Structure 1
């Protein structure tokens, strides 16, 4: 049976990633859109999820691609209606709102899937397998990009709950938490806030684990010389580097993995599999690390951010 899916929130990420990936994935079909300001020609369209759910439209599942601040209410509405729910990252604006969603999905017997698309990058699983069998000495994360290029005009991202630089930074955290053999926890957080914004433009974090492993993560939205999306791991077997967001993997500079991006196709394959049994896949560790970064964060005020 093909899963009939509605996208809620047809913004840039939905158009660029979700729509084409759904079209390539067996077992799922995009049948409708719920979005205030966007639609797809020839496809059923509704202004919001409430109107969609109140209609006669045949929908089995929804993919929530709206900003995280309002996503909890949308997820509740979909779960109450017995729909499977896929959550774009981050799964919510807070950690505490997720527990009741998991409980509701369990009550209704439907799938709730909190996606971390970077975990489906081709180098992530090989990196996890490599690190499971060697001593790890240190980890250094560099996740730097130009906010004007990658998030143009997205005012919500600078508001409370929008995460600021942690919107891309949480992708790095989702990779690190997937590949390291032990849980890590935060020791230091320095956050740089533009004087005219409510969310940080840069972050410098230090983590450790039960063995004392040093993990440092640097996130910055002011990089104009090209993107850096890399995780460097010093090990007993050499320096392991994931680069280009997890598309490439190298050991001491020698290539191990170099494959094209297929993250969102991986997400939808996983979603289709989960919905066959109504299984739940909700790992909140990346979001918890971001919450801890704000909890322990030393606030540093920097120059105002101006969109153009």
Structure 2
């Protein structure tokens, strides 16, 4: 098998913690270079920018963009123009419409554009989808609450326009929700809490439904201390399903049906290798559309300033 030679662009916490190990563990993938202004990896060619990487770097087939979403569109366009396959960390961009030209570029160049949703690859997500497919769903509640100081320390970009604030983790929940429910959902109301010194929300409450009127609520909060919660609760005609730990554990009425170690990013890279073999793309923007609608419909309140 010919290896897919991948360069990581943007070498922050998520790239170091997840992407490097996942690439090393996936057959057919190989890490060939790093492009980052602030960090490098011993033993690998390093470049300050994607432009320098594409001009002066070693032979590569693909780039994995782990930079803040505000700059990914231009980076993806540069990579596609250079004939490279492109993986986009989530969220894939700062808006929905900016992805359309990239999809067209990828198709014209016969290169892969992969908008990733890592939480969909959590081990209990597919079992949850299968279990719900055979039940009548009565209601759904999402509780996605974490401490931003633990998970995003010093990452000021997350509070800027396009950084999404609490929707950066919240979109993970929406990516799972739109995977496991049998019918599409849409936002009907939202309440967004903005720190007085930030351009993105620190907390959000959403009301959603589907064409049949299913009751769906979601609570996102970046101010959680103590135990963190990444849970989706679904009441059905055959019991309560709980998908917890970000999709790693599935229970029905307290009985564990599925649980396994985290291999989300390995799943992403297996999919990337598979797509790149034929130049196919995978760009599902449904979770991003729901976030965009939450901003469109949201009632905004101002809360105390955020200090990292």
CA-based RMSD of the aligned residues comes to 0.6
Distance 1:95 1:134 in 2: 33
| 1:249 matched residue in structure 2 | 250
| 2:91 matched residue in structure 1 | 90
Q: Per-residue displacement from partner, 1:189-216 (whole Å, max 9, x unpaired)?
A: 0000011111100000000000000110
Change over 3 Å in CA distance of 1:300–1:34 after alignment to 2: same
1:67 to 2:64 alignment: no
| 1:154 matched residue in structure 2 | 155
Q: Is the 8 A contact 2:47 2:57 kept in 1?
A: no
Q: Per-residue displacement from partner, 1:252-272 (whole Å, max 9, x unpaired)?
A: 010001111000000000000
| 1:259 matched residue in structure 2 | 260
Q: Per-residue displacement from partner, 1:107-154 (whole Å, max 9, x unpaired)?
A: 000000000000000010001111111100000000000011111000
Distance 2:303 2:93 in 1: 27
| 1:199 matched residue in structure 2 | 200
Distance 1:105 1:221 in 2: 35
Note the 1:146-295 alignment, pairs <5 A: 146-295=147-296
Q: Is the 8 A contact 2:45 2:57 kept in 1?
A: no
| 2:38 matched residue in structure 1 | 37
Deviation for aligned residue 1:227:
0.6
Task: Give me the TM-score of the superposition, normalised by structure 1.
Answer: 0.99
Distance 1:81 1:257 in 2: 43
Distance 1:131 1:25 in 2: 30
* Gap regions ≥5 residues in structure 2: none
Q: Per-residue displacement from partner, 1:146-190 (whole Å, max 9, x unpaired)?
A: 011111000000000000000000000000000000000110100
Change over 3 Å in CA distance of 1:277–1:141 after alignment to 2: same
Structure 1 stretches of 4+ with a deviation exceeding 3 A read: none
- Paired residue secondary structure (1:246): coil
Distance 2:228 2:166 in 1: 14
- Paired residue secondary structure (2:246): helix
Change over 3 Å in CA distance of 1:38–1:56 after alignment to 2: closer
Note the 1:43-58 alignment, pairs <5 A: 43-58=44-59
- Paired residue secondary structure (1:255): strand
| 1:115 matched residue in structure 2 | 116
Q: Per-residue displacement from partner, 1:60-80 (whole Å, max 9, x unpaired)?
A: 000000000010000000001
Q: Per-residue displacement from partner, 1:210-235 (whole Å, max 9, x unpaired)?
A: 00001101000111021100000001
